[in-house]
A and B are shown apart, each in its own frame.
Chain A
C-alpha cells in the first residue's frame, strides 16, 4: 500500500481499480479452489446420503438431501476389515519411505561430494530410471517376482510375489531415482568448506555423512518424506498386480472390495474413498510447509 502511495499513484481512482482487481483475483481463486475441492466435497456429500434416496430422486446424485447421516461409514467399517487395510498400508509405506531415504541420501552424498569417474553417469542412470513408466516393466517384473526366492522371515511363501517385502522393494526402487536426484542437487549447495573442516578434524566418510551432511539436509529429507508417504500411500497399481491375497492389500486397492459382482453401492464407495483419503489430507495439513518446499526443491540453485 505505502509503496504505491510513495510512487505517487495513490489516487482514489487507482485505489478503487486496485480493489476491483483484488476482488476479481479472489473470486478467481475461490472458484479455482472450489473446482479443485469439488471431487472431494462431492464424495463427502454422496457418502452422507442413503443410496435409496438417491435412486428415488429424479435428479439422482445431484438432488438435495433429505437425510444426511454417517450410516455408510458405519456399515463399511463393520463390513470390511478397514483397520487391517490401514495397517497393510502402514506396513508398506513406512519401511519403503525410510529405506528410500536412507539409500538415496547415501547415493546422493557419494555423487555430489566425491569426484569419481562415473558419478555423472550414475546420476544420469538414476534420473533416467525416474522417467521410465512403471507399467512398462510389469510383465518381466511379475515373472521375476514369481521366480525369485525369498527366505522365510521376509516371505511366507518363499517368493517375492504376494509379499509386503516385494512391494516395499519395488516402491523403494522406483522412488530412489527421484530422491537421489533431489538430494544430490541439495547437497551440492552445501559448502565444501564444512566437509573439509570436518575432514581436518579427523572425521571419516561415514561420520561426515551422518554428523555433517544429513543434519544439514533435514529440510530436504522432511520434504521428501512427506512426498514419498503420499505417493506410496496412493499407490494402486503395484498393490493390485503384485498381490494375490485380498487381505494383504493396502487401503487404496482394498477400495475395489466394494465393487460388487452385479451391484456397487456408490454411497458406500464414496464413504470408503473419503476414509482412504483422510490420512493423506491430515498428513498434508500437518506437513504443508515441507510439502511446498518439496515441490520447489532443486528448482533453484543458490
Chain B
C-alpha cells in the first residue's frame, strides 16, 4: 500500500464516529485535498492517514539520543514534514533517563507522542490510563504487520496502544573465521552445543562469553531456556504471575542452565556485556548470547570484525516446544500519551505521525541510520538489509511466538535489581544451591509486591473496520 492510495481512504466506521467531520471527509479526494484548507486535512485524517497539509503543532518525545539514532529521527521528521507540511517539535532525552523517568513524564506534561517498548511495559501505562488508544490508526495499518506484532501492541483492554517500529532478536553470536579455523560447526541440538563448548574448552577458549554486571544480560538465558523447555504459554504465565516460580518446570530451567555455567567467562558477575563482547571479538571466547545490538560494540572495537560475525538461534532441546521456535525479540514502539496538554488539539497530527511510522519507508530511514533497528512493517524495503539483518528477519519470521525479554514482560519492580536480577546472580554464583529454597524466595518476593492486577496476554483486537 502506498501513500497515494491511502490518502483517499476513510473507513465507514470512522465516518460514523466522527459525525460531521467525517461527513466532510466523504467528499475528500486526493486531488481536492492538496488545494483544500485545514478543514480538509482534519477530515481526511481521522485514522491518521498521512496526507494533505496538517496544521497546528505536534510534540514528540524521543529517547533516540545516540548520534546515529538522532540522525534517523531527523530524517524521519523531515520526511513527515515533506508529506504533511508539519514539522514535529522533538524533545530528545537520553535513553536511560527517559526510561527512569517515564512514570513522572507520563503523569506530568508529556509530549503528544513518545517512544516506548511493547509488551507489559506498554500495557502497564495503558492500564493506568496514561496512554491514548489508536485503534483507528491500527485498523488502517494492521495489514502491514504480522500477528506477533499485533499481540505485542494490544493492551489488556483489547485496544491498540502502539505502533511497532523496530525489533532485535537474541541469538548466539560467533566469529566465522574462528569456526572455520578450528573446524567448529553450528550446533542445532543441545548435545551438539555442549560438545562444541567442551571442544572449545580443550582448545583453550572460553566457550561462552558471559557477563552480568548490569543484571539484565542473564535474563536472556533464563527466557530462552524457559521457552525451549516449557513453552511460550508457561513463560508468559510465569512473567505475569499466573504460574508460580516454585513450579518444578522452573527447577528444570535452572538445572539445564547449570550445565552451561562451567563454560562461562570466569568472574562474569563483575563484567559488563561490552567486556564480554570484546572477548568474542578478540577470539578469546567462542560464543556469545545477546541481542543483535551487540554488533554496535563490535564495530566500535574493530570495524573489520563486523563482517566476520554470524549467529544462530539458541539450540533446540528436542521437545514439543521446538515447533514454536520462540525467542526474545524486544519490540520498540511509538505511543500516544494521555496527559499531554496539547494532545486534544494535536490529536489528528499525532495520529498521522503514528500512521507515518507504520510505513516500511519510514522505518527504513531509521534502519539506514542504525542497523540495530530492524523494521517491523511488511512493506519495508528489505533490499537494503545487510546479511545479519536478513538472517535476523528470517529467524524472527520463523518464530511462532515472540517474547519481549524478561524486564519488559514482567512488572518492573519484580525484574529490577532487588528482584530477579539479584536472584539470577545468586543462582549463577552457586548453581548447586538448594533450588527449591531459591524458587520459594523468588515466589515470596513476587507475593510481597504491592497488588497490581495482571491480566493474561490478550488476543489481538479485531482489525477489520
Q: Which residues of A contact B (CB under 8 A)?
A: 51-52, 55-56, 79, 142, 146, 157, 159, 161-162, 240-241, 244-247, 256-263, 265
Nearest-Cβ distance from residue B123 to partner chain A, whole angstroms: 22
Let me know if A52 and B302 touch, CB within 8 A: yes
Q: Which residues of B contact A (CB under 8 A)?
A: 61, 63, 65-67, 91-97, 101, 104-105, 108-110, 274, 278, 281-282, 291, 293-294, 296-297, 300-302, 341, 372
Let me know if B301 and A257 touch, CB within 8 A: no
Let me know if A260 and B109 touch, CB within 8 A: no
A157 nearest CB neighbor, chain B only: B109
Let me know if B296 and A246 touch, CB within 8 A: no
Q: Contacting B104 at CB < 8 Å: which of A51, A157, A241, A245? A: A241
Q: Contacting B94 at CB < 8 Å: which of A52, A244, A259? A: A259
- A146, A157, A262: most-surrounded residue (chain B CB, <10 A): A262
Let me know if B301 and A55 touch, CB within 8 A: yes
Let me know if B293 and A262 touch, CB within 8 A: yes
Let me know if A261 and B95 touch, CB within 8 A: yes
Let me know if A240 and B97 touch, CB within 8 A: yes
Q: A247 vs B65: C-alpha distance in the bound complex, in angstroms?
A: 11
Let me know if A52 and B300 touch, CB within 8 A: yes
- With A162-B109, A244-B105: A257-B91 Cβ-Cβ less than 8 Å: no
Nearest-Cβ distance from residue A260 to partner chain B, whole angstroms: 5
Let me know if B297 and A263 touch, CB within 8 A: yes
Q: Contacting A157 at CB < 8 Å: which of B281, B282, B293, B341? A: B341
Inter-chain contacts of B96 with A (CB < 8 A): 256, 259, 261
Main secondary structure of the interface of B (DSSP, over half): mixed
Let me know if A161 and B67 touch, CB within 8 A: no
Let me know if A159 and B109 touch, CB within 8 A: yes
- With A55-B278, A142-B104, A142-B108: A257-B341 Cβ-Cβ less than 8 Å: no
Q: A162 vs B300: C-alpha distance in the bound complex, in angstroms?
A: 35
Nearest-Cβ distance from residue B382 to partner chain A, whole angstroms: 23
Inter-chain contacts of B297 with A (CB < 8 A): 262-263
B104 nearest CB neighbor, chain A only: A142
Nearest-Cβ distance from residue B156 to partner chain A, whole angstroms: 27
Let me know if B108 and A244 touch, CB within 8 A: yes
Let me know if A260 and B65 touch, CB within 8 A: yes
- With A146-B109, A263-B296: A246-B67 Cβ-Cβ less than 8 Å: no
Nearest-Cβ distance from residue A289 to partner chain B, whole angstroms: 38
> Told that A246-B93, A260-B66, A263-B293 touch, could you supply 20 new A-B pairs with CB distance under 8 A?
A51-B300, A52-B301, A52-B302, A55-B274, A55-B278, A55-B300, A142-B104, A162-B109, A240-B97, A241-B101, A244-B93, A246-B91, A246-B94, A247-B92, A256-B96, A261-B65, A261-B66, A261-B96, A262-B293, A263-B296
Interchain residue pairs A-B with the least CB separation, the first 9:
A261-B95, A246-B93, A262-B293, A257-B94, A246-B92, A256-B94, A260-B66, A79-B67, A55-B301
Let me know if A161 and B109 touch, CB within 8 A: yes
Inter-chain contacts of A240 with B (CB < 8 A): 97, 101
Inter-chain contacts of B296 with A (CB < 8 A): 262-263
9 A-B pairs within 8 Å (CB atoms) are namely A142-B104, A244-B108, A245-B91, A246-B94, A256-B96, A258-B94, A260-B66, A262-B293, A263-B66
- With A162-B109, A247-B91, A263-B274: A256-B97 Cβ-Cβ less than 8 Å: yes
- B65, B94, B274, B296: most-surrounded residue (chain A CB, <10 A): B94
B92 nearest CB neighbor, chain A only: A246
Inter-chain contacts of B67 with A (CB < 8 A): 79
Nearest-Cβ distance from residue B332 to partner chain A, whole angstroms: 10
Inter-chain contacts of A161 with B (CB < 8 A): 108-109
A53 nearest CB neighbor, chain B only: B301
Q: A265 vs B67: C-alpha distance in the bound complex, in angstroms?
A: 12
Q: A263 vs B277: C-alpha distance in the bound complex, in angstroms?
A: 11
- B67, B92, B297: most-surrounded residue (chain A CB, <10 A): B67
Nearest-Cβ distance from residue B166 to partner chain A, whole angstroms: 12
Q: A212 vs B249: C-alpha distance in the bound complex, in angstroms?
A: 82
Q: A165 vs B167: C-alpha distance in the bound complex, in angstroms?
A: 40
Nearest-Cβ distance from residue B273 to partner chain A, whole angstroms: 8
- A55, A258, A261: most-surrounded residue (chain B CB, <10 A): A261
Inter-chain contacts of B95 with A (CB < 8 A): 259-261
Let me know if A265 and B92 touch, CB within 8 A: no
Inter-chain contacts of A142 with B (CB < 8 A): 104, 108
Nearest-Cβ distance from residue A140 to partner chain B, whole angstroms: 13
Q: A241 vs B93: C-alpha distance in the bound complex, in angstroms?
A: 12
B302 nearest CB neighbor, chain A only: A52
Q: A262 vs B302: C-alpha distance in the bound complex, in angstroms?
A: 17
Q: A79 vs B96: C-alpha distance in the bound complex, in angstroms?
A: 18
Inter-chain contacts of A257 with B (CB < 8 A): 65, 94
Nearest-Cβ distance from residue B128 to partner chain A, whole angstroms: 16
Inter-chain contacts of A244 with B (CB < 8 A): 61, 91, 93, 105, 108-110
Q: A56 vs B278: C-alpha distance in the bound complex, in angstroms?
A: 8
Nearest-Cβ distance from residue B183 to partner chain A, whole angstroms: 27
Inter-chain contacts of B291 with A (CB < 8 A): 262
Q: A256 vs B94: C-alpha distance in the bound complex, in angstroms?
A: 6
Q: A159 vs B281: C-alpha distance in the bound complex, in angstroms?
A: 51
B300 nearest CB neighbor, chain A only: A51
Q: A247 vs B108: C-alpha distance in the bound complex, in angstroms?
A: 17
Q: A265 vs B61: C-alpha distance in the bound complex, in angstroms?
A: 24
Q: A241 vs B426: C-alpha distance in the bound complex, in angstroms?
A: 33
Let me know if B300 and A265 touch, CB within 8 A: yes
Let me know if B94 and A263 touch, CB within 8 A: no
Q: A287 vs B236: C-alpha distance in the bound complex, in angstroms?
A: 61
Inter-chain contacts of B281 with A (CB < 8 A): 55
